[in-house]
Amino acid sequence: MENAILKKIGYDAGNIASDGNRFLCANGYMGMRGIPEEDGSGQYAAVTLAGVYDRYRDRWREPVNAPHGLSVRLSFDGASMTPASAETVRHETALDYRYGLLSRDTDYGPLSLHSERFLSMADCHLMADCLRIRIRRDGMLEIRAGIPDDIWDINGPHLFDKQYQAGRILCCEAVTGEKRITVATAQHAVPAFAVEETYETGKGGVFRVWRKQVRSGEELALSVFAGVYTSLDRGDCKAAAEETCLNAGKKGFDACLREHMQAWDAIRDRSEMVLEGDGAAALALRASQYHLNCIAPRHAGSMSIPARGLSGQTYKGAVFWDAEIFYFPMFVHTQPEIARSLLAYRIETLPGALKKAAEYGFRGAFYAWESQEGGEEGCTNFNVVDVFTHRPVRTYFRDKQIHISADIVYALRSYYEITGDRSLLENGGAEVILECARFYLNRSNAHLDRDDVDYDDVIGPDEYHERVSNNAFTNRMIRHCLESALRLEEIFTDRRGWFEALLKKLAYEADWERLGTLIQRIRGPVIRGGVIEQFDGYFGLEDCSLETVRARLCHPKEYWGGDHGVAGTTQIIKQADVIAMIALFPGDFTDEEADANWAYYEPRTEHGSSLSSCMYALTACRTGRLDEAWDLFLRTASIDVTGGGKQWAGEIYIGGTHPAANGGAWMIAALGFAGLRVVRGEAELHPRLPRQITRLSFPFTAKGKQLQAEITHHHAVIRPR
Over 50: is that where the pLDDT of 586 sits?
Answer: yes
Over 90: is that where the pLDDT of 646 sits?
Answer: no
* 188 secondary structure, DSSP code: E
Q: Answer yes or no: 197 catalytic.
A: no
Over 50: is that where the pLDDT of 1 sits?
Answer: no
Strand ranges, E, within 120-167 = 126-135, 139-148, 159-165
CA distance 211 to 77: 10
The percent of residues above 90 in pLDDT, for the chain, comes to 91
Q: How many residues comprise the chain? A: 721
How do strand 682-685 and strand 676-679 relate by DSSP bridges? Answer: antiparallel
Task: State the amino acid at position 171 in one-letter form.
Answer: C
CA distance 40 to 46: 8
Asked if 279 contacts 334 with a C-beta cutoff of 8 angstroms, the reply is no
Interval 552-576: pLDDT, tens:
999 988 999 988 899 999 999 999 9
CA distance 227 to 358: 42
Over 80: is that where the pLDDT of 405 sits?
Answer: yes
Residue of 567, 558, 660 lying closest to 610 (CA atoms): 660
Confidence of residue 653 (pLDDT cuts 50, 70, 90): confident
Interval 513-550: pLDDT, tens:
999 999 999 999 999 999 999 999 999 999 999 999 99
**272-720 shares the fold of 5-270:** no
| Spatial CB neighbours of 385, under 8 Å, sequence gap ≥ 6 | 391, 392, 393, 650, 651, 652
Burial of 714 (C-beta count, 10 Å sphere; 0-12/13-18/19+): exposed
H/E element holding 199? strand 197-202
Over 80: is that where the pLDDT of 74 sits?
Answer: yes
Domain boundaries, the chain: 5-270, 272-720
Q: What local confidence, expressed as pLDDT, does residue 648 receive?
A: 66
Q: How far is CA 700 from CA 15, 191, 684, 706, in A?
A: 37, 44, 12, 6
The percent of residues above 70 in pLDDT, for the chain, comes to 99
Q: How many other CB atoms sit within 10 Å of the CB of residue 439?
A: 26
CA distance 390 to 357: 32
Q: What local confidence, expressed as pLDDT, does residue 433 receive?
A: 98
Instruction: Please give the average per-residue pLDDT across 643-653, as a whole number.
Output: 70
Q: How far is CA 139 from CA 91, 135, 210, 216, 509, in A?
A: 22, 9, 14, 8, 83
Q: What local confidence, expressed as pLDDT, does residue 14 receive?
A: 85
Q: Compare 2 and 511 and report the one with higher pLDDT.
A: 511
Q: What local confidence, expressed as pLDDT, does residue 385 receive?
A: 87
Confidence of residue 87 (pLDDT cuts 50, 70, 90): confident
Over 90: is that where the pLDDT of 384 sits?
Answer: no
Q: What local confidence, expressed as pLDDT, does residue 651 receive?
A: 64
Q: Compare 681 and 602 and report the one with higher pLDDT.
A: 602
Asked if 31 contacts 45 with a C-beta cutoff of 8 angstroms, the reply is no
CA distance 372 to 634: 31
Instruction: Please give the average per-residue pLDDT across 117-141, as a whole number.
Output: 98
Which superfamily does 5-270 belong to?
Glycoside hydrolase, family 65, N-terminal domain (2.70.98.40)
Q: How many other CB atoms sit within 10 Å of the CB of residue 74?
A: 23
Lowest-confidence pick of 28-32, 448-452, 612-616 = 448-452
Radius of gyration of the chain (CA): 26
Interval 48-71: pLDDT, tens:
999 999 999 999 999 999 999 999
Over 70: is that where the pLDDT of 609 sits?
Answer: yes
- The CATH fold assigned to 272-720 is Glycosyltransferase (1.50.10)
Residue of 663, 698, 673, 683 lying closest to 620 (CA atoms): 673
Task: State the amino acid at position 490 in one-letter form.
Answer: E
Q: How many other CB atoms sit within 10 Å of the CB of residue 194?
A: 7
Q: What local confidence, expressed as pLDDT, does residue 647 receive?
A: 72
Interval 2-12: pLDDT, tens:
579 999 999 98
Q: How far is C-alpha 511 from the chain's CA centre?
A: 36
Instruction: Please give the average per-residue pLDDT across 27-45, as a whole number.
Output: 94
Mean pLDDT, the chain, whole residue set: 95
Lowest-confidence pick of 159-173, 242-256, 356-370, 555-569 = 555-569
Q: How far is C-alpha 182 from the chain's CA centre?
A: 25
Instruction: Please give the average per-residue pLDDT across 249-275, as a whole number.
Output: 98
Instruction: Please give the average per-residue pLDDT across 706-714, as a whole number.
Output: 97
Asked if 662 contacts 288 with a C-beta cutoff of 8 angstroms, the reply is yes
Helices 350-359 and 430-443 cross at an angle (nearest 10°) of: 10
Confidence of residue 644 (pLDDT cuts 50, 70, 90): confident
Read off the pTM: 0.96
Over 50: is that where the pLDDT of 487 sits?
Answer: yes
CA distance 453 to 435: 19
Q: What local confidence, expressed as pLDDT, does residue 2 receive?
A: 59
CA distance 688 to 622: 7
CA angle 248, 249, 251 (to 5 degrees): 65
- Sheet containing 111-119: order of strands: 5-9, 90-96, 101-107, 111-119, 126-135, 219-230, 182-191, 170-176, 159-165
Over 70: is that where the pLDDT of 650 sits?
Answer: no
370, 463, 466, 558: the active-site residue: 463
CA distance 671 to 668: 6
